[in-house]
A and B are shown apart, each in its own frame.
Chain A
């Protein structure tokens, strides 16, 4: 196990470097084609050449390779690696705010949002999946099958906008018109957009939207895997041992059925981070996703590279943790 973890940690190095180079190259090519993004700071005013050049150099975009289309700008990449790994300097945005500060400010929101989404999809997804699996062919099973297909078919963007307009705005407006309605509900859970007065409560709806797609997958996986396992020989043994059916399902069947769900969770973390960009945009949550989104528009390459690199790291660590969890759930898996 220890050796496996070390090997996986070593694999992080090429993965992170590769991801950074792809990011670096894409952002460089973007600058090479659209021109110096620093000009945007001045809006429609034309700054003196010397001022522009000074500022560009200070923001780390003075390298002449950025004017030659498709030049990979290796020296610039080297400088970036040197700053990040040797000086732990992730650079700044155009207002000279450190990327680390931006992340520190935005990360808690995204972490909360993702946490709500994961809890929602796991708790509800597993319960619903077990229910459908036990009632195979019955009403609940069909209800779950149909509703999960709907959830999977609707893109997060559409679902998010629908929920915001109909639940948070229209239904929320009704609630806000009711006398004596607690503010936590009317301006928290059903706030039209994220509100700093209710940093947790107003993340509920965005979290549910973000987790909805994965919830459908978790429910279907649990259902299929439970159905596969209820007829297993060891379940028959458990019944022959005179155990109550709660225990037969809840302990003997479920533990085996959750193995594919945990596998899914590993890949799902990546999807949640991607989904967070959209969800945060729709509900105006000032999280990581929104920062990346904004930075891409303004061409603040250091911000994009810094934040995405950190996301890559978070994803790698999380999937390593899931793989460890996998071995705990299924003792037949050996990492050596």
Chain B
């Protein structure tokens, strides 16, 4: 094995990998459907630095997956359209690039792990083929070279007997092993930013922990910026550096992870944390957030969370949408009454 092969696959930390790798500013995505215009993402702003983990938290339908797909440029279009904002990778706006330039960024610089590996892997090709394809199409390698790299990748994500298993099809792997294949596929070209869209929801709890620690370890080794999209508060606490909480297509709170747990400053974040089952409250009724998230075709005026919020007042029901108030160092909340929320405990 040559030195360069080792470097590429082991992913030795690149010294140039510092500072913000991906910056998303005021991103807007809408879906033009027969039922009307759905505002899936309404001005989302976040950034992720090399070697950092940003968790994007929110319930189903809040726009987290759509944000990820918009960043990757794989929105189903129509009906989905990016209508505003910027997505900058290392300063270059991806939205201004040609389709061909964008394609070169995918997998090379920004890669993505999907939720359900069984449906996200092509059922009729071997995992070896699907991994080798990346090297063949992006690096111009031969089939044999690509297959060799595929074996190395499966080794990297600790799939036993990698040499034999490259010849297997996705359905021949267990759920956890399939998700490892997904991770291997995302890491193949050594991207600088990795977007993981609920990477562990389809797995059982013990396997979840293994996958998360593998992901965290590979991220540290390679100094990747990791965007972890999830609705699982438990997963976030362990691995994230910063958290962005999303509601109805907007960021409602952004803060370092310990800050969020210690002093949540948005009523939605607070309610989310209260609804996590806790051992010391065993036997008591679980706390829930009343009501449903708004339909994206009819988001309420003012603060989108107001119909479900126990702090809501007249001001919250009127436009404009509350801006992100700086509530502490690196901590922002989009609530007019954040001081009240913070004091309340």
Contact = CB atoms under 8 A, between A and B. Distances in A.
A60 to B, nearest CB: 52
B103 A231 contact: no
B133 A241 contact: yes
Contact of B103 (A242, A330, A331): A242
Interface residues of B, number: 29
Interface in A208-238: 231-234, 236-238
A239 interface: yes
Nearest to A243: B137
Contact of A233 (B103, B111, B116, B185): B116
A238 B129 CA distance: 12
Interface string B104-137: 1111100110101001111111100000011001
A146 interface: no
Contacts of A13: none
A136 B93 CA distance: 31
Contacts of B121: 234, 237
Contacts of B103: 242-244
Interface in B78-116: 103-108, 111-112, 114, 116
Instruction: Give chain A's interface residue range (CB within 8 Å of chain B).
Output: 20 to 34
Interface of B is mostly: mixed
Contacts of B258: none
Nearest to A235: B122
Given A255-B125, A332-B169, A237 B120 contact: yes
A231 B76 contact: yes
B31 to A, nearest CB: 14
B137 A238 contact: no
Nearest to B72: A240
Nearest to B116: A233
A265 B88 CA distance: 50
A231 B119 CA distance: 11
Given A233-B119, A233-B120, A236-B74, A242 B133 contact: no
11 contacts: A231-B76, A233-B119, A237-B114, A237-B121, A240-B111, A241-B106, A241-B137, A242-B134, A252-B125, A331-B123, A331-B171
A-B residue pairs, 6 tightest by C-beta: A242-B106, A233-B119, A234-B122, A242-B107, A331-B169, A233-B120
Interface of B: 69, 72, 74, 76, 103-108, 111-112, 114, 116, 119-126, 133-134, 137-138, 169, 171, 185
Given A242-B104, A242-B134, A256-B122, 7 more contacts: A232-B119, A234-B123, A242-B107, A259-B124, A329-B124, A331-B169, A332-B124
Interface of A: 231-234, 236-244, 247, 252, 255-256, 259, 329-332
